[in-house]
A and B are shown apart, each in its own frame.
Chain A
Amino acid sequence: MNAAEAPPLDLEQLYRDSNVREAIDALDRELVGLAPVKTRVREIAALLLVEKLRRTVGLAAASPPLHMSFTGNPGTGKTTVAMRMAAILHRLGYVRKGHLVAVTRDDLVGQYIGHTAPKTKEVLKRAIGGVLFIDEAYYLFRPENERDYGQEAIEILLQVMENQRDDLVVILAGYKDRMERFFASNPGMASRVAHHIDFPDYTPEELFAIAGLMLEQMQYRLSDPAAQALREYIALRRTQPHFANARSIRNALDRARLRQANRLFEGRSGSLSREMLATIEAGDIRASRVFGMMKEKA
């Protein structure tokens, strides 16, 4: 084809028409940090848009495999991003329905011989047209037990990931080191997962920003001393065991709400204002066990 005769291709137009910008903007706005994740999501969106454009001018455009692996510590936003990813892929027309089916080993692997295949297939049928999110995927493979049925589930998964690429996207998630071991012992799986996305831990500032977003959603606000207390809390909590990033922050806020409610209840003889109902004071946060432990040490 003569380049001069070809109609101009408008990627910008396609981008606007696909409504994918809203989804990506929402991802930017509502999720704090996660720079590498956002970059990768944008790359995938760009790839799919370009593929679409290639198809309109008759260039070869095989739909690229989009099975992914999300690795990272607990509470770094793997499930949330998976949900957003389903919406983005739907808007780009890669999956037909754009829902997310989140499962773990229990939902895929059966208890007796012959129980696994129907169970796995049923889950796959539910996920078709959307995204299948397998949390802690490495539990599927138990090398210490050669008669484990997990292997059967993996084989069915592999078959579907290969043959029904247009029908669903599989996202495997879990801790980084264990996922690496899982892929090392399942080369078939490793070669079919095109995108490995690592979720970094949040910095204290990011955690504070996340807390702000969460409080905004729950329609609470922090008094200035409470904000300072929360900053100190985050710094302390990060150094403690079982720290689960955003999830720990959510739990801390939930407990602060509990204490706030209790405080208001204790002083119920006085009059309450709307402002008081919405405000979390420094005391609500400082009563946390985390501060107590620091004093014990000191």
Chain B
Amino acid sequence: MRLTQGTFSFLPDLTDAQIRAQIEYCLQNGWAVSVEHTDDAHPRNVYWEMHGNPMFDLRDAAGVMAEVEACRKTFPDHYVKVNAFDATHGWESLRLSFIVNRPRHEPGFGLVREEADGRNIRYTTRAYATDSPEGERYRV
């Protein structure tokens, strides 16, 4: 199952040229761009690992592209996303976030039913990938 989180996630994967153009747009707006990755992409997991510090005061996308490339190389089977943070007063939050790398095989999420008090049933989702420990997920 294809993970759909963040902007552009219902589109086909962006090419590097498209990613570069998006980053260029972020930098034009003065947003600070950062790269994050995870191998536990549960929708409720909002804290992914940071790949290096957020990059402030950049003028050209080539610097971010190098970081994206480095992150993909280190974690080829992780989800990698690019975030753009707007520091202007009143926003002070992410303006854009999109996935730039995903594992070759995405097993998706299972629905877990928990029998609670009486005949109540609670539902939750669980990623199949998280059955294996960290670092061993999404191996084909």
Q: A residues within 8 Å of B by Cβ?
A: 96-97, 99, 118, 122, 124-126, 128-130, 164, 167
A118 to chain B: which residues have CB within 8 Å? 52
Contact with A along B47-91 (1 / 0, CB 8 A): 000001101011110111011000000000000000000000000
Selected contact of B59 from candidates A122, A124, A126, A164, CB within 8 Å: A126
A-B pair number, CB within 8 angstroms: 32
Nearest CB of A to B117, in Å: 53
| Residue from B55, B57, B62, B67 having most chain A Cβ neighbours under 10 A | B62
Instruction: List 11 interface pairs A-B (beta carbons < 8 Å), by A numbering.
Output: A99-B59, A118-B52, A122-B55, A124-B63, A125-B58, A125-B64, A126-B57, A126-B58, A128-B60, A164-B62, A167-B62
Residue with the highest number of chain A CB atoms closer than 10 Å, among B52, B59, B66, B67 = B59
Interchain CA distance A96-B24 in the complex, whole Å: 11
Measured in the bound complex, the distance between the Cα atoms of B51 and A118 in whole Å is 12
Residue of A nearest to B52 (CB): A118
In the complex, what's the smallest C-beta–C-beta distance from A283 to chain B, in angstroms?
A: 46
Residues of A within 8 A of B58 (CB): 125-126, 128
A122 CB contacts on chain B under 8 angstroms: 53, 55
Give the complex CA separation of A35 and B39 in angstroms.
60
Name the A residues within 8 Å of B66 (CB-CB): 125
Chain B proximity of A267: nearest CB distance (Å): 47
Chain B residues contacting A125 (CB-CB under 8 Å) are 55, 58, 63-64, 66-67
11 additional A-B residue pairs with CB within 8 Å, beyond A96-B62, A167-B60: A96-B60, A124-B63, A125-B55, A125-B58, A126-B63, A128-B58, A128-B60, A128-B62, A128-B63, A129-B62, A167-B62
Q: Quick one: closest A residue to B57, CB to CB?
A: A126
Q: How far is the CA of A173 from the CA of B13 in the complex (A)?
A: 45
Determine the chain B residues whose CB is within 8 A of the CB of A130 once the complex forms.
59-60
CB distance from A261 to the nearest CB of B (A): 37
Nearest residue (CB) in A for B64 is A125
Contact residues in A for B64 (Cβ distance below 8 Å) = 125
Query: A33 CA to B63 CA in the complex, in Å?
Result: 37
Contacts of B59 on A, CB cut-off 8 Å?
97, 99, 126, 128-130
Which residues from chain B contact A99 at a C-beta distance below 8 Å? 59
Measured in the bound complex, the distance between the Cα atoms of B66 and A96 in whole Å is: 16
Which residues of the other chain, B, contact A167 by a CB distance below 8 angstroms?
60, 62
